[in-house]
Chains A and B, each alone.
Chain A
Amino acid sequence: MFRFANPNRFMNWSGKLLPWCAAATAILLIVGTYLALFVAPPDYQQGEAVRIMYVHVPAAWMASFVYGVMAASSAVALIWRHPVADIAAQQSAPLGAGFTLLCLVSGSLWGEPMWGTWWVWDARLTSVLVLFFLYLGYIALVNAFDEPTRGARAGAILALVGVVNLPIIKFSVDWWNTLHQPASVFRIGAPTIAASMLWPLLIMAVGFTLFYVTLLLVRMRSALMAAKLRALRLQEFQAA
């Protein structure tokens, strides 16, 4: 696996993979948006407001998924001191924060017409807000050191400690009373959501995932180029 994580090899394969990822992302998001806004039926209780689901739910899944990737990369970076793993974690953070913000605001816009309130301090909403602050805290911590490797180490430790929040988010709707509905797709037994809504939702979710993968590759390539640039400038400085 580490063969593909060598910086030069990474630049090589990610450059080849990128156009395919970008094309697949564009197709899935366009098809998903079309299905979500024009084809999927209105809900028998929620009417057209249910169309918020097609951005809220994929954003919510990505909020947790990206954090999982960030924590796993941080673990690899701490254990094997692999620089590309650090870059993967650091470049995931702003993307995860974006998905979490989208999840929170779209959820609020869905809550007002359906629950009659923009916000409640229950376990699901609060734990996702904590996730958002974990992303922001991670970004701040990584950039708080003059020595980049120390910032990376501190950030990696924070990312790993924050993993405790992920099961709390997932099971908060089962463990505590909440206005939020329980899981209807990733649950034991069959999904409880109608197929006519499930398919547009899954296409949007795969589109969001590929969007994340595409931007992560772009951002990791930028970060590796920046590292190479620093090395070249150091050489110039030493030669002068």
Chain B
Amino acid sequence: MTVAPPDTSTKYDLDFAKWVYENIEGGDKLALCMQCGVCSGSCPIGVQMDYGPRKLFMMIRAGMKEEVMTSSTQWNCTSCYRCVVRCPRSVPVTYILQDLAAKSAELGYAQKTNENVNFARSFWWSAKTFGRTDERLVTALYYFSFGLKEGYQRGLANLKIALNFVKRGRMHIGLPHRIKGRRQLKAILAKAEEIAKREGLH
């Protein structure tokens, strides 16, 4: 068993845990975590996370703000809820990770390290504009969010897959599908925004 020696260059923000408890959805339940490891062990893509939820929660308690807010853990979560179902202390792991992702994007941390934030932005643009996600537009927006050159490169690399999708009727040609009540959707989202502001959720 190899354990990395302590890194003395790490900066600790001793108010960070308190900030998470008070500002992240489900964060107040974080204190219940007993570090058993069931969440990270159960995670179907746990090996693709830099820390995994258990370690991330310990880092929050330790005050490792920079490392937590730039972590890939909250962005790689697929919301399968296996950790939530199995957690012996009923910590809402998925909710905490989702809100950590949102807050790390909002506060400008996520862009530094994680491209999933670009995907999330493209996805949300399509969802709020059309009431549906249009694969072509979401993908294009996501690819070109990395710049013109990389956008072309990524697009070309996936062209064959896209054409096969079209051929098999899995992706359509023409205008994006959209829902009928787009005006109502806009009103709903505006109301949600208003409530969030009022409740201090932003």
Q: Do A and B bind each other?
A: no
